[in-house]
Amino acid sequence: MMFLGLLYVGLALVTDSVYVLLASRLRRLFTGRLTAGRLPQVASGVVYIRLGLSTALSRR
């Protein structure tokens, strides 16, 4: 049982680290070139719509 708990914590640490690194790179991309543009607004809108749809359509 201890092994499964450590495996879960290890996988959570790896996936969270990947999310952080990806978000950091995307932030640099958006703030470096497109600060005044419309693309960051559209991209964030698409992300929020996608998250809302996936939440609404998920089954428990």
pLDDT at residue 1 in the model? 84
User: Could you tell me how far CA 45 lies from the centroid of its own chain?
Assistant: 14
Per-residue DSSP letter, 36: S
pLDDT at residue 36 in the model? 58
pLDDT band for position 43 (cuts 50, 70, 90): confident
Whether this prediction's pTM lies above 0.95 is answered by no
* Residue 19 to residue 11: CA distance in whole angstroms: 12
pLDDT band for position 29 (cuts 50, 70, 90): confident
Return mean pLDDT, the chain. 86
